């Protein structure tokens, strides 16, 4: 039975199917698209020029009858070439990372090798109707130079200003509001990608030398389709080949380090999958003061900030690798500052500021010492009025302050306060990480006993013994 010739509407359905899948809809067959009234409505709403483009595509495919097509109407030769290119890329990447780690361990300088991590946020996506390739329009990116010995050595961060295309403003606003909250209404000229290219090139080549090849960039699996869109824009603007930047898997790099450094690591396991599971724990997602200056002033955006994310990746690698390499973990370098350390620094800053304020006069010319003297006199007057039988309540704020909870996490805004912060009586327990599990270090986990976790409906007992009433 001869194969039925495909019309222009068939190729339109393929594009419609791709757009629906990119928006999160699950589609199992083209028959599901044929039964969708919206597909027919969009086809009838096309202009003559747009409809002609699909019909010409169908004629071209029919004329080339010897070319085999996939079930989605794509050239089988093109699909096979893409798959082969992907296989060669993965083989090259794995060989490079394996050799890099192996040689570094052999020469005992793994802790000094620089790794470059990159993360990108975007405003909106646009799907090419001919190739069905999704293009991410970048909003922000950060690149960090990281070593196991020195942590994050240098960071390059940019907020990108773009002109939102007609028809994509709503998507850009909704995505921005739900994630990074970068304003889409920019003042001034849009960002020059050629200038960005030279800035990034300078950042990467400053350590490698002008004649050497640029170092490899690493990013997570979730970013493998996003980051290339930014790098391609930079390369096109500067007129250089797209392979100027090499982008490899952060998960495979981390998994290789885990496997080579830990003798108890399961050899037959998928190293990249275990590394991805460790990264996705987001153990350091709420670390304060690691986001960029823009997101530091917007509440609830630190977890989406590109600067924050590349820093968290560095902390995660340090948490696992530094112990195995006998590298002393330093606060703010290999791990976040603890709550006690933050409280101590904030308290010192507050005390200095209070002393400074106490020596100055206010805008009215009244000194701090005079205000305190007047305040004490008002208190004596209130006590005298109470002795005389007048209805008045005296509030001792010093007692109230002591009764407040002593477990308070200081925020970035607290550093500008003129009053001493509340004393922290205990710190937050660090999350259990994969390195601790594999090394058998579970001392930091709380004991699951009846004293710490009473039954539902019962309060925590005052003594070690626990009895139901």
Q: Residue range 390-405: average pLDDT?
A: 50
Closest CA to 276 of 434, 141, 146, 105: 434
CB-based burial of residue 36 (10 Å sphere; 0-12 exposed, 13-18 middle, 19+ buried)? Answer: middle
SS (H, E, C) 198-238: HHHHHHHHHHHCCCCCCCCEEECHHHCCCHHHHHHHHHHHH
DSSP 3-state of 72: coil
Q: Residue range 309-322: average pLDDT?
A: 95
pLDDT at 406: 39
Least confident range from 44-58, 409-423, 424-438: namely 409-423
Checking if the pLDDT of 467 tops 70, the result is: no
The mean pLDDT of the chain is: 78
DSSP 3-state of 331: strand
Checking if the pLDDT of 365 tops 70, the result is: no
Q: Which two tokens stand for residue 281?
A: 């724990």
pLDDT at 378: 62
Q: Which two tokens stand for residue 294?
A: 């823009």
Question: Binning pLDDT at 50, 70 and 90, where does residue 303 land?
Answer: very high
pLDDT in tens, 405-427: 333 334 433 334 344 444 443 44
| Structure-model confidence comparison of residues 209 and 193, the more confident one | 193
Supply φ then ψ for residue 134, to 5 degrees: -90, 125
| Structure-model confidence comparison of residues 270 and 209, the more confident one | 270
Token match 């010995």: residue? Answer: 149
Cα-Cα-Cα-Cα torsion 168, 171, 173, 175, nearest 10 degrees, comes to -140
Measured from the Cβ of residue 331, the count of other Cβ atoms closer than 10 Å reads 11
**What is the DSSP annotation of 370-430?**
HHHHHHHHHHHHHHHHHHTT-------HHHHHHHS-S--PPPGGGGG-SSPPPPP-SPPPP
pLDDT in tens, 244-288: 999 999 999 999 999 999 988 887 678 999 999 999 998 999 898
Q: Which two tokens stand for residue 91?
A: 């083989």
Taking the complete model, does pTM exceed 0.75, yes or no? no
Closest CA to 117 of 235, 303, 254, 296: 254
Question: Binning pLDDT at 50, 70 and 90, where does residue 436 land?
Answer: low
pLDDT in tens, 113-125: 999 999 999 999 9
pLDDT at 418: 40
Given a contact cutoff of 8 angstroms between Cβ atoms, the answer to whether 407 and 259 are in contact is no
Checking if the pLDDT of 233 tops 70, the result is: yes
DSSP 3-state of 126: strand
Question: Binning pLDDT at 50, 70 and 90, where does residue 31 land?
Answer: confident
């Amino acid at each position: 039975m001869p194969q039925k010739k495909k019309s222009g509407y068939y190729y339109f359905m393929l594009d419609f199917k791709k757009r629906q899948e990119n928006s999160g809809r699950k589609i199992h067959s083209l028959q599901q698209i044929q039964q969708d009234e919206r597909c027919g409505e969009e086809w009838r709403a096309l202009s003559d020029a747009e409809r002609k483009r699909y019909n010409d595509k169908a004629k071209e495919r029919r004329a080339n009858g010897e070319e085999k097509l996939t079930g989605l109407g794509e050239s089988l030769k093109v699909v096979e070439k893409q798959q082969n290119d992907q296989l060669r890329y993965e083989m090259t990447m794995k060989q490079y990372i394996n050799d890099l780690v192996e040689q570094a361990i052999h020469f005992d300088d793994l802790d000094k090798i620089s790794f470059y991590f990159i993360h990108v946020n975007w405003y909106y996506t646009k799907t090419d109707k001919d190739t069905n390739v999704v293009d991410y329009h970048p909003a922000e990116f950060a690149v960090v130079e990281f070593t196991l010995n020195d942590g994050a050595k240098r960071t390059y961060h940019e907020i990108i200003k773009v002109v939102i295309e007609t028809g994509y403003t709503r998507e850009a606003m909704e995505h921005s509001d739900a994630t990074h909250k970068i304003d889409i209404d920019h003042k001034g000229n849009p960002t020059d990608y050629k200038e960005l290219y030279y800035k990034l090139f300078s950042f990467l080549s400053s350590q490698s030398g002008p004649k050497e090849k640029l170092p490899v960039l690493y990013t997570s699996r979730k970013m493998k389709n996003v980051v290339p869109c930014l790098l391609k824009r930079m390369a096109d603007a500067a007129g250089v080949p797209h392979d100027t930047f090499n982008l490899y898997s952060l998960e495979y790099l981390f998994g290789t380090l885990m496997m080579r450094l830990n003798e108890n690591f399961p050899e037959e396991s998928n190293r990249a999958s275990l590394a991805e599971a460790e990264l996705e724990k987001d153990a350091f997602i709420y670390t304060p003061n690691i986001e960029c200056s823009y997101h530091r002033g917007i509440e609830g955006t630190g977890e989406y900030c590109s600067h924050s994310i590349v820093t968290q990746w560095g902390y995660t690698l340090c948490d696992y690798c530094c112990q195995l390499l006998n590298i002393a973990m330093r606060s703010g370098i290999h791990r976040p500052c603890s709550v006690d350390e933050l409280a101590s620094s904030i308290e010192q800053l507050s005390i200095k500021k209070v002393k400074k304020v106490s020596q100055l006069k206010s805008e009215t010319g009244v000194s701090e010492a005079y205000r305190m003297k007047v305040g004490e006199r008002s208190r004596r007057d209130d006590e005298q009025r109470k002795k005389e039988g007048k209805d008045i309540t005296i509030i001792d704020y010093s007692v109230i302050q002591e009764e407040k909870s002593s477990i308070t996490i200081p925020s970035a805004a607290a550093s500008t306060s003129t009053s001493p912060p509340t004393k922290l009586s205990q710190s937050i327990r660090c999350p259990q990480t994969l390195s601790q599990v594999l090394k058998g270090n579970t001392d930091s986990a709380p004991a699951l006993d009846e004293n710490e976790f009473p039954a539902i409906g019962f309060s925590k007992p005052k003594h070690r013994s626990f009895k139901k009433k």
